[in-house]
Amino acid sequence: MQLKDLGEYRLVARICEKLERTFGIDKRVIVGLGDDTAVLDINGTKLVLTIDTQLEDAHFRRRWMPPFELGWKSVAVSVSDVVAMGGKPIAALLGIGLTGEEPVAFVDEFYEGAIALCQSTGILLLGGDTVRSPLGLMFSSVVIGIVEGEPIRRSGAQIGDSIVVTGFVGEASAGFWLLEQDVDFMSSPLLQHCIKRFRQPEPKVNAVQVLRSFPVHAAIDISDGLVIDAQRIANASKVQILLDLTKLPLSDALKEAAKVTGRDPISLALTGGEDYELLLSVPVSVLTEFCQALKAIDITAHPIGEVGAHHDEGQVLGKHDNGTVSLLHGGFQHF
């Protein structure tokens, strides 16, 4: 069997099972495998650790991804994972793979972008590793943070919870298709907005204090698509999640970009990914106050569904505008 036959989800599960058997019994491990980050208890301090990789022609193309934005995004995606656990990001390390044919200015601009992201989120960039990568560009970021109290896991969603998403979903994916189809976006502020959402995602670092102030039961950042990331919460929590498709936050920018690229805006919102918004499972009793607290720090929050019955394997359903309900699937996977 080849990896493309196994699929990313089953590959990760296979690796997790092997590592869990070996290291899962260590008392220092609070959160090990199968979540946005790992969490370790080191002498009473809960360290949050995560790693992400950006690979040329898998995540971006050199012809339309400037080095400044590459540096920014390479760190931002890992910072977002720490935030989703309710953690405060502290420091980052960057591994970079270069072909050797890049101008020196390319590396300078890349690090300017990475530094800008770190400064905007209040974290330290402490170095990393540099290697030759003859087949294309590759960037890996490790971000370390701390979490006070219990980390917010994917596995805590409870029956009756509201499902809340921050911001607007689908814009980043729309930006990807604008770039991939070489659409002229310079004359349209709406299209430019989607491009920026893809190139320079903004981790919701300022949301951490709000997340810690409310009984948020489960959380994940949306990297691979709303549906597949909701599925990860459903799987970990063993519940059924019902998304009301009439309540999806679809922005004017998304609708314009979808029209230009010939894409369906709802499909982009559900399966596009790269938004790095937060998907949260919150008790109904605090929903209004929770959304207001996020709004007070300029983060919009949209209730888009609910946690339904127990489901051993996890399930995500969509309620359509005609009242029918269907099983939802789709999102980015590497294999």
Residue 329 has pLDDT above 60, yes or no: yes
**What is the model's pLDDT at position 20?**
72
Q: What residues contact 189, with CB distance under 8 A and at least 6 apart? A: none
How far are the Cα atoms of 63, 101, 128 from residue 109, in angstroms, in the given order?
A: 15, 15, 17
The residue behind tokens 């409310």 is 214
Both tokens of residue 61? Answer: 């193309």
More confident: 270 or 25: 270
How far are the Cα atoms of 7, 161, 218, 261, 326 from residue 215, in angstroms, in the given order?
A: 34, 11, 9, 40, 30
Are 307 and 241 in contact by the 8 Å Cβ rule? The answer is yes
Mean pLDDT of 299-321: 96
Residue range 176-204, pLDDT digits in tens: 999 999 999 999 999 999 999 999 999 99
Task: Provide the percentage of residues in the chain whose pLDDT is more than 70.
Answer: 97
Residue 334 has pLDDT above 70, yes or no: no
Largest CA distance in the chain: 57
Residue range 216-246, pLDDT digits in tens: 999 999 999 999 999 999 999 999 999 999 9
Both tokens of residue 79? Answer: 């910072």
**What is the model's pLDDT at position 302?**
98
Both tokens of residue 130? Answer: 């540099």
Both tokens of residue 131? Answer: 């290697």
Cα 133 versus chain centre, distance? 26
Both tokens of residue 219? Answer: 């959380």
End-to-end CA distance of the chain: 13
Residue 335 has pLDDT above 50, yes or no: no
Please give the Cα distance from 195 to 211 (Å, whole number): 28
Does domain 3-13+24-146 bear CATH number 3.30.1330.10? yes
Residue 332 has pLDDT above 60, yes or no: no
Residue range 8-54, pLDDT digits in tens: 667 777 877 777 777 766 788 889 878 889 999 999 999 999 999 99
Please give the Cα distance from 72 to 210 (Å, whole number): 25
Residue 333 has pLDDT above 70, yes or no: no
Please give the Cα distance from 120 to 26 (Å, whole number): 35
More confident: 30 or 96: 96
pLDDT, mean over the chain: 94
**Burial class of residue 141, CB neighbours in 10 A (0-12, 13-18, 19+):** buried
Both tokens of residue 206? Answer: 């300022």
**What is the model's pLDDT at position 121?**
97
Task: Provide the percentage of residues in the chain whose pLDDT is more than 90.
Answer: 86
More confident: 5 or 321: 321
Domain extents for the chain?
3-13+24-146, 154-327
Residue range 161-177, pLDDT digits in tens: 999 999 999 999 999 99
The CATH code for residues 154-327 is: 3.90.650.10
Residue 120 has pLDDT above 50, yes or no: yes
